[in-house]
């Protein structure tokens, strides 16, 4: 079946889109539930609440623009296999901030956690977004990133669609969002910004299919893929920590050490070179 995907929001309402969102929602819940602090922000993808399991008192959703809400948001693609409850769960959330991800309205070193669900591949300047995230994160703050893996069955299907586009055909499987960023390439970018990757994994090993029944029949490929070809999952997920060189966190109960009292030194009587003995 040939279909033309307009954007990521439309694609997430398809069977493979809901399959991917379910996997990513579970990974984000696991990653952010034990990250503590006061301020957290999610950049992009309002269809996924990546901070719902986090317990920080201040959490924001920042978008680059107000999401479109047409009367028939599913009319441009085939969604006959998606039920009404799934559609309601995928409705975009209201943003707390409308801002450019390359210029966030936060002071330097003010956020404890930033999550980027497919934000980098949706941005025209992914390097600038990462630099801005590094600026607003506190030392030892964390960034959680998810993205499509170009070295996967889904990535191969997408490259085939780009090849067909030169011949005048539209046969894309993934949304047309620009160039996908490879996992190892992203790790190099993070290393240049003094981030240390704490954990990373891949997921969604089922083939690039659009039929819900076939996706369900091939669910065994998820467990097989994690064991036999772990780096070829359709999506990757990683957590990185901001490291600051020369900074050492002080313990909460530290105290200033008192300087030791000066001990009086004994002065021995000596005869000077002139032969005159010094007086007491």
Q: Is the pLDDT of residue 176 over 70?
A: no
CA dist 62 and 101 (Å) reads 8
pLDDT tens per residue across span 188-241? 999 999 999 999 999 999 988 888 999 999 999 999 988 898 899 999 999 999
- pTM, to two decimals: 0.75
**Over 11-46, what HEC string results?**
HCCCHHHHHHHHHHHHHHHHHHCCCCCCEEEEECCC
Mean pLDDT computed over every residue of the chain: 79
pLDDT at 118: 92
User: In the Cβ-directed half-sphere of 194, how many Cα atoms lie within 13 Å?
Assistant: 15
Q: Beta partners for 43? A: 62
Instruction: Give the strands of the sheet with 97-98, arranged side by side.
Output: 97-98, 58-63, 39-43, 111-117, 137-148, 235-242, 195-203
Segment 39-70, tens digit of pLDDT: 999 998 988 999 999 999 999 999 887 765 54
Q: Which residue has the higher pLDDT, 261 or 200?
A: 200
Q: What is the pLDDT at residue 140?
A: 94
More confident residue, 128 or 252: 128
Predicted pLDDT at 173: 72
Nearest CA to 129 out of 46, 43, 10 is that of 43
- Rounded CA-CA distance 14/87 in Å is 10
pLDDT reported for residue 51: 93
Is it the case that residue 31 has pLDDT exceeding 80? Answer: yes
Domain regions of the chain by residue span: 8-242
- pLDDT at residue 88 tops 50: no
Sequence-ordered alpha helix ranges (H) in 137-232: 153-165, 183-192, 212-217, 220-228
Write down the pLDDT at residue 119: 92
In this predicted model, which residue has the larger pLDDT, 22 or 153?
22
Mean pLDDT of 144-164: 81
The pLDDT, as a whole number, for residue 256 is: 57
Separation of alpha carbons 139 and 194, rounded Å: 10
Residue with more model confidence, 171 or 206: 206
> With pLDDT > 90 as the criterion, what percentage of the chain qualifies?
47
Structure token pair of residue 121: 């591949």
Mean pLDDT is lowest, of 11-20, 53-62, 186-195, 243-252, for: 243-252
Residue 247, pLDDT score: 59
Name the architecture of domain 8-242: 3-Layer(aba) Sandwich (3.40)
Give the pLDDT mean for 178-196.
Answer: 91
* pLDDT the model gives residue 277: 56
């Amino acid at each position: 079946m040939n279909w033309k995907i307009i954007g990521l929001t439309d694609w997430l309402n398809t069977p493979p889109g809901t399959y991917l969102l379910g996997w990513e929602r579970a990974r984000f819940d696991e990653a952010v539930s034990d990250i503590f602090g006061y301020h957290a922000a999610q950049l992009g993808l309002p269809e996924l609440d990546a901070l719902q399991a986090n317990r920080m008192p201040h959490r924001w959703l920042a978008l680059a623009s107000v999401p479109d809400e047409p009367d028939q948001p599913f009319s441009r693609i085939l969604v006959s296999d998606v039920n009404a409850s799934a559609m309601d769960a995928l409705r975009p959330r209201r943003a707390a901030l409308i801002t450019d991800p390359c210029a966030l309205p936060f002071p330097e070193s003010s956020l404890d956690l930033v999550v980027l669900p497919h934000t980098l591949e949706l941005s025209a300047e992914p390097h600038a977004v990462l630099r801005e995230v590094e600026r607003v994160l506190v030392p030892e703050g964390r960034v959680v990133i998810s993205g499509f893996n170009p070295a996967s069955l889904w990535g191969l299907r997408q490259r085939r669609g780009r090849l067909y586009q030169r011949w005048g055909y539209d046969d894309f499987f993934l949304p047309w969002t620009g160039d996908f960023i490879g996992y190892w390439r992203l790790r190099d970018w993070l290393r240049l910004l003094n981030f240390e990757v704490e954990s990373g994994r891949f997921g969604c090993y089922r083939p690039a299919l659009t039929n819900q029944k076939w996706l369900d029949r091939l669910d065994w490929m998820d467990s097989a893929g994690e064991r036999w070809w772990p780096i070829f999952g359709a999506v990757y997920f990683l957590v990185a920590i901001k490291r600051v060189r020369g900074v050492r966190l002080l313990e909460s109960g530290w105290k200033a050490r008192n300087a030791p009292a000066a001990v009086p030194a004994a002065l021995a009587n000596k005869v000077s070179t002139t032969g005159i003995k010094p007086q007491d």
